[in-house]
Structure 1
Amino acid sequence: MDFRKSSGENITGKSWVMRDLWNTRVCSRRRGTLGLANNPVRLKSSGIKRLMEDALWSQGIRKRLEPGKRRHEFQTGHGYRKWFKTQCEIAGMKSINTEILMGHSIGISDSYYRIPEGELLEDYLKAMDFLTISENNIQRERLSELSEKTSRVIEEKLHNRDVELQAQDKLKADAIANLADHILKLQEEIEILKNRDILETNG
């Protein structure tokens, strides 16, 4: 908006968020403006769709259809709406609030459901990270994935160590049990020998 204002457009509360392009090469030193933006033309939905289509083609996301196919994987504009709804649902937003944000009719509730803007904003903030595509979010997601992966590796190593220690404890317990049995047998043999000596002495 500041750039448009510096180019001569009269910015008000009713100014369009998106407007047509203007010639930025025409400068006015006397007015201190860059380009001729004082006659804004509202950017129509068809213009927005064209900009989105140009972006998809230029980035290689949209390609020529294969023989036999009549439709692309997703629609130019509607695909964003579907993605928005999906992310809001994943984030745990109320479905009725998602429909309101998408400008959909909610049926008979149109007349009865009156959610305060503050509550709607609070519900929307749940989905903000899911809807925001930025380097910070990508790094945060990668860090979260790395943290989860590290935790899984540590848990796996601890589990394997516990299994190993349990196996060692079992071996020790078995060895002690075998030793105890051997000692018991020796004691029994000693008692037998003692009894035999006593009998021979008395005989």
Structure 2
Amino acid sequence: MRQAWQGAFGALIAFGSYTATAHAQLMIVGNDEKLTIDDAGKSLPHEPGHDTLSIIDISKPDAPKIVASIPLMNTIAGPPTNLAIHPSGEIALVANSLNPESEGTGWKNVPDDKVFVIDLKANPPAIIATVNAGKQASGLAIAPKGDLALVANRAAGSVSVLSIKGKEVKVIDTVEIGAAGDQVSAVAITPDGRRALAVKAAANKVALLSIDG
């Protein structure tokens, strides 16, 4: 029997509304379908193209309901904050850290830079834009006001700054905070929106960033 390893990519909860369930509390879950693990603990890689994003209504915690599932490339490699729901509940952001490429008879992972913008108000929810952040876009965070997002670029030693206006998301700046080998893997924004913390995993350090505007 083969046990599927999926859903571990991450999940974030936020308040929002979905067309079919007004004012629902939603959770999004990225499902990496490129790997299964057998009963002996052996990893079994599979061809890409089967990943999905599940959108779950958790308004009733004892009876969660999947309201939509859309095809979306994503990866289990990375912190659990590779995805987030906007404070308005209108959109979600999902970063794809790695992409598999064929190598001989198998697959190898190479860094990706894509951040997908998901329209949660559409029926059904759909990808409306793809933003190119930095190499191996990993952990991300959306500011409390919802006007910007930060993306940690693990293989670039940088943080991408994304502006958010309604459902329009675009890169407006890139902040270099270390060497590529530092592995800038995750980022968090303080509740007042004035500062951010970025984790340099390989360097065992945390960078403090100031947010102006």
Q: TM-score range by the shorter chain?
A: under 0.3
Higher helix share: 1
Structure (1 or 2) with the larger CA radius of gyration: 1
Higher strand share: 2
Higher relative contact order (CA 8 A, sep 6+): 2
Query: What is the TM-score normalised by the length of structure 1?
Result: 0.23
Query: What is the TM-score normalised by the length of structure 2?
Result: 0.22
